[in-house]
Amino acid sequence: MTLLLAHISDLHLDGSERATERTTRTLDHLTRLHRRPDALLVTGDVADTGSEHDYRRAAQLLDLPFPVLTCPGNHDDRAALRRHLLGQTPSAEPINQLHHVNGTAVLVCDSTVPGHGGGHLQASTLMWINQTLESLEGQTPALLAFHHPPARVHHPISDQIRLDNAQDLAGLLRAHPRVAGILVGHAHTGGVTTFAGLPLLLAPALIRSAPMPWDSEHTAAMDQPPGVAFHLLDEDHRLTTHFRAVV
Protein backbone atom coordinates (compact mmCIF):
# COMPACT_ATOMS: atom_id res chain seq x y z
CA MET A 1 0.00 0.00 0.00
CA THR A 2 1.13 3.55 -0.67
CA LEU A 3 2.59 5.39 2.30
CA LEU A 4 0.60 8.51 3.20
CA LEU A 5 2.66 10.87 5.37
CA ALA A 6 1.18 14.17 6.54
CA HIS A 7 3.81 16.87 7.09
CA ILE A 8 3.53 20.09 9.08
CA SER A 9 6.13 22.47 10.42
CA ASP A 10 6.78 25.60 12.44
CA LEU A 11 3.93 25.55 14.93
CA HIS A 12 5.69 28.12 17.17
CA LEU A 13 3.41 27.40 20.09
CA ASP A 14 3.81 30.28 22.53
CA GLY A 15 0.76 30.13 24.79
CA SER A 16 -1.19 32.47 22.55
CA GLU A 17 -4.73 31.73 21.44
CA ARG A 18 -3.74 32.27 17.82
CA ALA A 19 -0.95 29.67 17.74
CA THR A 20 -3.06 27.13 19.62
CA GLU A 21 -6.09 27.63 17.37
CA ARG A 22 -4.11 27.24 14.14
CA THR A 23 -2.45 24.07 15.37
CA THR A 24 -5.70 22.63 16.72
CA ARG A 25 -7.51 23.41 13.46
CA THR A 26 -4.85 21.63 11.44
CA LEU A 27 -4.71 18.53 13.63
CA ASP A 28 -8.50 18.27 13.74
CA HIS A 29 -8.48 18.37 9.94
CA LEU A 30 -6.04 15.44 9.80
CA THR A 31 -8.12 13.28 12.15
CA ARG A 32 -11.26 13.87 10.04
CA LEU A 33 -9.74 12.83 6.70
CA HIS A 34 -11.42 10.07 4.70
CA ARG A 35 -8.13 8.16 5.00
CA ARG A 36 -6.06 9.14 7.98
CA PRO A 37 -2.32 9.45 7.36
CA ASP A 38 -0.04 6.60 8.34
CA ALA A 39 1.92 9.13 10.40
CA LEU A 40 2.35 12.85 10.95
CA LEU A 41 5.80 14.39 10.50
CA VAL A 42 6.55 17.63 12.39
CA THR A 43 9.78 19.23 11.15
CA GLY A 44 10.60 21.52 14.02
CA ASP A 45 9.92 24.81 15.72
CA VAL A 46 7.24 23.18 17.80
CA ALA A 47 7.59 25.76 20.56
CA ASP A 48 8.49 29.39 19.97
CA THR A 49 10.67 30.00 23.03
CA GLY A 50 11.44 26.46 24.20
CA SER A 51 9.43 26.78 27.41
CA GLU A 52 8.35 23.70 29.34
CA HIS A 53 4.75 24.94 29.38
CA ASP A 54 4.59 25.11 25.59
CA TYR A 55 5.94 21.57 25.21
CA ARG A 56 3.38 20.25 27.68
CA ARG A 57 0.69 21.90 25.55
CA ALA A 58 2.27 20.51 22.38
CA ALA A 59 2.18 17.01 23.86
CA GLN A 60 -1.54 17.37 24.50
CA LEU A 61 -2.26 18.65 21.00
CA LEU A 62 -0.10 16.02 19.30
CA ASP A 63 -1.72 13.10 21.12
CA LEU A 64 -3.24 11.73 17.91
CA PRO A 65 -4.65 8.39 16.70
CA PHE A 66 -1.60 7.83 14.47
CA PRO A 67 2.16 8.09 15.04
CA VAL A 68 3.75 11.53 15.31
CA LEU A 69 7.40 11.90 14.23
CA THR A 70 9.09 15.04 15.53
CA CYS A 71 12.47 16.69 15.08
CA PRO A 72 13.65 19.98 16.61
CA GLY A 73 13.92 23.34 14.90
CA ASN A 74 16.09 26.30 15.76
CA HIS A 75 13.47 27.64 18.22
CA ASP A 76 13.23 24.34 20.07
CA ASP A 77 14.96 23.14 23.21
CA ARG A 78 16.32 19.62 22.82
CA ALA A 79 15.96 18.63 26.47
CA ALA A 80 12.37 19.87 26.82
CA LEU A 81 11.33 18.36 23.49
CA ARG A 82 12.80 15.02 24.54
CA ARG A 83 11.04 15.08 27.91
CA HIS A 84 7.56 16.10 26.79
CA LEU A 85 7.21 14.85 23.21
CA LEU A 86 9.45 11.80 23.07
CA GLY A 87 9.20 10.54 26.65
CA GLN A 88 12.99 10.40 26.90
CA THR A 89 15.50 11.48 29.51
CA PRO A 90 16.33 15.15 28.89
CA SER A 91 19.59 15.67 27.04
CA ALA A 92 21.26 18.35 24.92
CA GLU A 93 22.55 15.77 22.40
CA PRO A 94 21.19 15.80 18.82
CA ILE A 95 17.83 14.07 18.41
CA ASN A 96 18.02 11.43 15.67
CA GLN A 97 15.34 8.77 15.31
CA LEU A 98 14.46 5.95 12.93
CA HIS A 99 10.77 5.18 12.37
CA HIS A 100 9.36 2.38 10.24
CA VAL A 101 6.04 3.51 8.75
CA ASN A 102 4.09 1.30 6.35
CA GLY A 103 7.19 -0.27 4.84
CA THR A 104 9.22 2.96 4.69
CA ALA A 105 12.13 4.00 6.89
CA VAL A 106 11.74 7.63 7.99
CA LEU A 107 14.97 9.07 9.40
CA VAL A 108 14.08 12.10 11.52
CA CYS A 109 17.25 14.08 12.20
CA ASP A 110 18.51 17.07 14.13
CA SER A 111 19.92 19.95 12.05
CA THR A 112 19.84 22.52 14.85
CA VAL A 113 22.69 24.48 16.40
CA PRO A 114 21.64 25.49 19.93
CA GLY A 115 21.58 29.26 20.24
CA HIS A 116 21.72 29.88 16.48
CA GLY A 117 19.13 30.23 13.72
CA GLY A 118 21.06 28.39 11.04
CA GLY A 119 21.46 24.67 10.59
CA HIS A 120 24.29 22.15 10.66
CA LEU A 121 24.34 18.37 10.59
CA GLN A 122 26.92 17.33 13.16
CA ALA A 123 29.45 14.66 12.23
CA SER A 124 27.74 12.28 14.65
CA THR A 125 24.41 12.87 12.90
CA LEU A 126 25.88 12.31 9.44
CA MET A 127 27.47 9.10 10.72
CA TRP A 128 24.13 8.02 12.20
CA ILE A 129 22.36 8.67 8.87
CA ASN A 130 24.95 6.67 6.97
CA GLN A 131 24.94 3.74 9.39
CA THR A 132 21.15 3.70 9.62
CA LEU A 133 20.72 3.62 5.84
CA GLU A 134 23.33 0.88 5.54
CA SER A 135 21.51 -1.24 8.12
CA LEU A 136 18.12 -1.22 6.36
CA GLU A 137 17.01 -4.52 4.93
CA GLY A 138 16.46 -5.36 1.28
CA GLN A 139 14.80 -2.72 -0.87
CA THR A 140 13.31 -0.72 2.02
CA PRO A 141 12.80 2.86 0.79
CA ALA A 142 13.80 5.77 3.03
CA LEU A 143 12.83 9.38 3.60
CA LEU A 144 15.10 11.86 5.35
CA ALA A 145 13.57 14.64 7.48
CA PHE A 146 15.05 17.59 9.37
CA HIS A 147 14.36 21.31 9.89
CA HIS A 148 16.71 23.42 7.74
CA PRO A 149 16.59 23.30 3.92
CA PRO A 150 19.94 22.24 2.45
CA ALA A 151 19.37 24.32 -0.70
CA ARG A 152 18.29 27.87 -1.46
CA VAL A 153 14.55 28.47 -1.57
CA HIS A 154 14.96 32.06 -2.81
CA HIS A 155 13.61 33.77 0.28
CA PRO A 156 15.92 36.46 1.70
CA ILE A 157 15.57 35.39 5.34
CA SER A 158 15.52 31.60 5.27
CA ASP A 159 18.33 31.41 2.72
CA GLN A 160 20.63 33.17 5.20
CA ILE A 161 20.00 30.54 7.87
CA ARG A 162 19.76 27.32 5.87
CA LEU A 163 21.87 24.19 6.38
CA ASP A 164 25.53 25.23 6.22
CA ASN A 165 27.15 21.87 5.38
CA ALA A 166 24.84 20.70 2.64
CA GLN A 167 27.67 19.26 0.55
CA ASP A 168 28.54 16.82 3.34
CA LEU A 169 25.00 15.51 3.16
CA ALA A 170 25.01 15.43 -0.66
CA GLY A 171 28.12 13.28 -0.71
CA LEU A 172 26.59 10.85 1.77
CA LEU A 173 23.32 10.55 -0.15
CA ARG A 174 25.03 9.64 -3.38
CA ALA A 175 25.93 6.32 -1.77
CA HIS A 176 22.33 5.57 -0.76
CA PRO A 177 19.92 5.33 -3.71
CA ARG A 178 17.19 3.98 -1.40
CA VAL A 179 16.49 7.57 -0.22
CA ALA A 180 13.39 8.77 -2.09
CA GLY A 181 13.28 12.35 -0.83
CA ILE A 182 14.14 14.96 1.79
CA LEU A 183 11.47 16.66 3.92
CA VAL A 184 12.10 19.96 5.71
CA GLY A 185 10.45 23.05 7.20
CA HIS A 186 11.92 26.35 8.46
CA ALA A 187 11.14 28.49 5.39
CA HIS A 188 7.46 29.04 6.29
CA THR A 189 6.38 28.28 2.74
CA GLY A 190 5.33 25.15 0.94
CA GLY A 191 7.75 24.43 -1.85
CA VAL A 192 9.43 21.89 -4.08
CA THR A 193 12.97 21.79 -5.45
CA THR A 194 15.78 19.24 -5.71
CA PHE A 195 18.92 18.47 -3.74
CA ALA A 196 21.58 15.89 -4.60
CA GLY A 197 19.29 14.69 -7.36
CA LEU A 198 16.41 14.05 -4.94
CA PRO A 199 13.09 15.79 -4.30
CA LEU A 200 13.42 18.44 -1.58
CA LEU A 201 9.98 19.20 -0.14
CA LEU A 202 9.16 22.06 2.22
CA ALA A 203 6.10 21.96 4.45
CA PRO A 204 4.08 25.14 4.96
CA ALA A 205 4.24 26.71 8.42
CA LEU A 206 1.29 26.65 10.78
CA ILE A 207 1.96 29.91 12.60
CA ARG A 208 2.38 32.24 9.59
CA SER A 209 3.49 32.25 5.97
CA ALA A 210 6.59 33.82 4.47
CA PRO A 211 5.66 35.73 1.30
CA MET A 212 8.17 35.38 -1.50
CA PRO A 213 9.79 38.50 -2.98
CA TRP A 214 7.34 38.57 -5.89
CA ASP A 215 4.35 38.33 -3.52
CA SER A 216 4.99 41.25 -1.23
CA GLU A 217 7.58 43.54 0.29
CA HIS A 218 6.64 42.10 3.69
CA THR A 219 8.48 39.13 5.20
CA ALA A 220 5.52 37.61 7.06
CA ALA A 221 1.86 37.06 6.16
CA MET A 222 -0.39 36.57 9.15
CA ASP A 223 -3.65 36.25 7.16
CA GLN A 224 -2.84 33.07 5.22
CA PRO A 225 -4.31 29.77 6.49
CA PRO A 226 -2.05 27.05 7.88
CA GLY A 227 -1.10 24.30 5.46
CA VAL A 228 -0.18 20.64 5.23
CA ALA A 229 1.97 18.70 2.80
CA PHE A 230 0.81 15.16 2.01
CA HIS A 231 3.62 12.91 0.78
CA LEU A 232 2.75 9.65 -0.96
CA LEU A 233 5.41 7.01 -1.59
CA ASP A 234 4.17 4.22 -3.84
CA GLU A 235 5.32 0.69 -4.59
CA ASP A 236 7.70 2.03 -7.26
CA HIS A 237 9.30 4.30 -4.62
CA ARG A 238 7.98 7.33 -6.48
CA LEU A 239 7.35 10.29 -4.18
CA THR A 240 4.35 12.52 -4.90
CA THR A 241 3.37 15.56 -2.81
CA HIS A 242 0.10 17.48 -2.53
CA PHE A 243 -0.29 20.73 -0.55
CA ARG A 244 -3.51 21.67 1.19
CA ALA A 245 -4.58 24.83 3.02
CA VAL A 246 -6.58 24.30 6.20
CA VAL A 247 -9.38 26.85 6.19
- Distance (Å, whole) CA 10 – CA 44: 6
- Distance (Å, whole) CA 98 – CA 105: 7
The pLDDT assigned to 220 comes to 86
Nearest alpha carbon to residue 198 among 159, 169, 235: 169
The pLDDT assigned to 217 comes to 87
* 198 strand-pairing partners: 195
- Distance (Å, whole) CA 68 – CA 41: 6
DSSP-H helix ranges across the chain = 17-31, 52-61, 78-81, 123-135, 166-173
CB 107 within 8 A of CB 81: no
CB 105 within 8 A of CB 140: yes
Tell me if residue 33 falls in helix, strand or coil.
Answer: coil
Per-10-residue mean pLDDT of the chain, 247 residues long, equals: 94 97 98 97 97 97 98 98 97 98 98 97 98 97 98 93 98 97 98 98 97 88 95 96 97
Tell me if residue 229 falls in helix, strand or coil.
Answer: strand
DSSP annotation string for 153-215: -S-TTGGGGSBS-HHHHHHHHTT-TTEEEEEE-SSSS-EEEEETTEEEEEPPBSS-B---TTT
The pLDDT assigned to 104 comes to 98
Half-sphere exposure of 9 (CA within 13 A, CB side): 32
Tens digit of each residue's pLDDT (9 = 90 or more) over 145-187: 999 999 999 998 999 999 999 999 999 999 999 999 999 999 9
